[in-house]
Structure 1
Amino acid sequence: MSAATHNPYLNGNFAPVADEVSVEDLPVTGVLPPELNGRYLRIGPNPTAPEETGQGHHWFVGRGMVHGVRLRDGRAEWYRNRFVHGDVPEDSPNTNILAQGGRLLALVEGGGAPVSIAPDLNRMATWDADGALRTGFTAHPKIDPVTGEMHAVNYLIRPDAEHLRYVVLDATGKATHTAELPVRGVPMVHDMALTATRVVLLDLPVTLSPDAVGRLEAGVPQAGDALPMRWNEEHPSRVGVLPRGGTARQVTWCDAPRCYVFHVLNAYDAPGGSIVMDVVRYDTVFRDVFGGPADQLPALARWTIDPDRGTVSEQIMSDRSVEWPRINAEWLGRPHRYGWFGGTGPASLRLTDDVNRDLGGSFEPGPLVKFDTTTGEASAHDFGAGRVTQEPTFVARPGATAEDDGWILSVVHDGNTGRGELAVLDAADVTAAPVARVHLPRRVPFGFHGNWIADNEIGA
């Protein structure tokens, strides 16, 4: 029996789609807000080549595919999906897509350069910011809503890598600052945090595995080796704090809870010099299962970082398991109240036999969740039996002043029909019926990240 037969990340709605399509004039249930003029874009891995789907397959690895829905004047003009390709075949980012400096950029971490994508999704090219990103970028830069600067912490999946690279791009996409920040053991640094004055680095105990690298080089990969990162009991768990635009000599390291964090909701400066940072944390990942992050379910936690004492205190904020955290981007780096998430649940750890246990079970999505960090209240939108969502995106209503005055856009997978839809919810009341549902011509495989790109962000 083939690896693909057993691997949960190559089956169901994790499975890739085979072709690219373009469909115009999509049917809509409800009324699309006419203020939504732009594109909802989502990206994820779409492995189709034999070398991408063999024994060593990992959910995080495979050629990128972007899915786009064009909205204008209350209509859903088109859906398109395209494989991501840069100037060389290996340039195929699969993790995030956003706008910076008037460009649409597909992103990946670990050494891959961004790929610039035309607004119609039909033209693509590698983009390295005039050489500043030639050695790779990150999937999770942070864009300051006041200055438009993009801050990023990058790492290389390479045995000889001995530092992280901190890069700042201005609002036009020009690199204005770089700094090498020494670390040991090649830690997996998927995300970072940005406050109004500081940057927070994550150096946590998932690192490059020499054993997995050796098996890959020998052509005998085991489950999950395509991403050769593993839980490392010997690696410390710490966060680093440095001033925005800072250098290695300005980093203050603080002992952190022993866990792993893929995603940060937000962080902000607090009185007395501390930093409040809300994160989605896992007790372990890639320790017990290797095909995806399914050692156990994640939890939302608040970390209070005290650089003067070198400590991080932790408070678990909810008993509801969530991932893919998002805020109103205008609140990035400033005190926030609300977060929107994709919910996960016990079904995500469906380990049916020893083979699936090695591969990682499955990490299946669930309802959409809104969390109030002030009251601790969580509310959810359940899309119905067999219907689940992943990462939400907040879009502010024009002229809005309230933090949650806007819409949530999110792709829903309908397991009953095998198709997807773009749901539009009221961000202030996610329990209400959807404002609108855009019916897509096909399913959108479970992937990673997406964003709403307004027309004025890319001039189209």
Structure 2
Amino acid sequence: MPRYGNADSIRWFEVEPNCTFHILNCFEEGDEVVVRGCRSLESVISESCDMDLDKSEWVSGRLRSKGPIQQDAKYSTKDELLFSRSYEWRLNMETGEVKERNLTGTPFAMEFPMINPNFNGVKNKFGYTQTVHDSASASSGMPKFGGLAKLYFEETNNKIQEWEESEGHIKVEHHEFEGNTFCTGAAFVPKEGGREEDDGWIITFVHDEDTNTSKVYIIDTKNFTSEPVAKITLPCRVPYGFHGAFMPTPLHN
């Protein structure tokens, strides 16, 4: 739909059936509207699961990749219904054609994507997601996020696993947390005066389930796989949640 359009100007495009909760970004490129998001085949809050934590068997296995995924594969296996991959749709506004593909072939699922907010609605090079820890999620009956991923939309993949199909997939870096430590509410914070798109930090709450300690991690997105530049211990438990946002507070004398 054009920005100043009405109901008569809506264009409809048919895509393969899927569940997409969160969008990475959308932008125009030539005759195409490019949509990138996190796509799975079924919702974790679907009618077939009542989210009873005693019924983790329903979740177990559905968050695990069963093997290589081709760039042009339209479906995951039935055992991967909840496995969310970074995905791209290209909607041709002239012909009505749709091109869609898996952007990533990683062995871990991705959700809660984020980008530098200064690039919302325009073509961007980088994206970030939380990554699902499959065994912890299977045992708890709901997704737990054991790390973060950096997506390089304009670079080809460096293999993360030996079985991974690299052709056609984008490069991904993985920042994995310590054992039994999971994050929530990650947000990208641009560096003030930064000249490049990935000048900034990801700030996220993390919780160590072994020590019952909550912290704030600050990760330099230029040195994504390195140790966080800061780990701030919090005085109380921060429950797992969904989205996070960074709201700067002006400093006053």
TM-score (norm: length of structure 1): 0.43
Root-mean-square deviation (Å): 2.4
Residues 270-309 of structure 1: per-residue CA shift (max 9 Å, x gap):
112x111111011112153242995521111011112333
Is 1:288 equivalent to 2:19 in the alignment? no
CA distance, structure 2, for counterparts of residue 309 and residue 260 of structure 1 = 25
Match of 1:258 in 2: 17
Q: Which structure has the greater CA radius of gyration?
A: 1
- SS, match of residue 193 in structure 2: coil
Give distance in 1, aligned partners of 2:139 and 2:195: 46
One of 31, 34, 37 as aligned partner of 1:276: 34
CA distance in 1: counterparts of 2:241 and 2:110, whole angstroms: 16
Structure-1 separation of matches of 2:94 and 2:17: 20
Task: Name the structure 2 match of 1:362.
Answer: 142
* Residue of structure 2 in register with 1:300 after alignment: 86
Q: Which amino acid aligns with 2:7?
A: A
Aligned in 2, Cα 1:433/1:345: closer, same or farther, shift over 3 Å? closer
Amino acid of the structure 1 residue aligned with 2:214: G
Quick one: which of 129, 148, 159 aligns to 1:341?
129
How many percent identity over aligned positions?
A: 26
Residue aligned with 1:330, SS: helix
**Gap change, CA 1:346 and 1:304, over 3 Å in 2:** same
Which residue type is aligned with residue 118 of structure 2? Answer: E
CA distance in 2, matches of 1:396, 1:268: 20
Question: Number of aligned pairs?
Answer: 209
Give the 3-state SS of the residue equivalent to 2:238 in structure 1. coil
Query: 1:350, 1:393 → 2: CA distance?
Result: 25
Structure 1 residue 439: deviation in Å? 0.6
Unaligned runs of 5+ in 1: 1-241, 353-360
Question: 1:302, 1:316 within 8 Å by CA — same for their partners in 2?
Answer: yes
Q: Please point out which of 161, 165, 173 is paired with 1:379.
A: 173
Aligned to 1:453: 247
Q: State the AA in 2 paired with 1:283.
A: L
The answer for the alignment partner of 2:113 in structure 1 is 325
Unaligned runs of 5+ in 2: 53-57, 60-80, 156-169
Report deviation, 1:246.
Answer: 2.3
Q: Which residue number corresponds to residue 10 of structure 1?
A: none
Relative distance call for 1:317 and 1:287 in structure 2 (3 A) is farther
Residues 215-235 of structure 1: CA deviation (Å, up to 9, x unaligned): xxxxxxxxxxxxxxxxxxxxx
Per the alignment, residue 238 of structure 2 pairs with 444
Offset, 1:347? 2.3
Letter in 1 for 2:4: G
What are the Cα deviations for residues 373-424 of structure 1, in whole angstroms up to 9, with x where unaligned? 1111111222211112134211111111100011111111111111211111
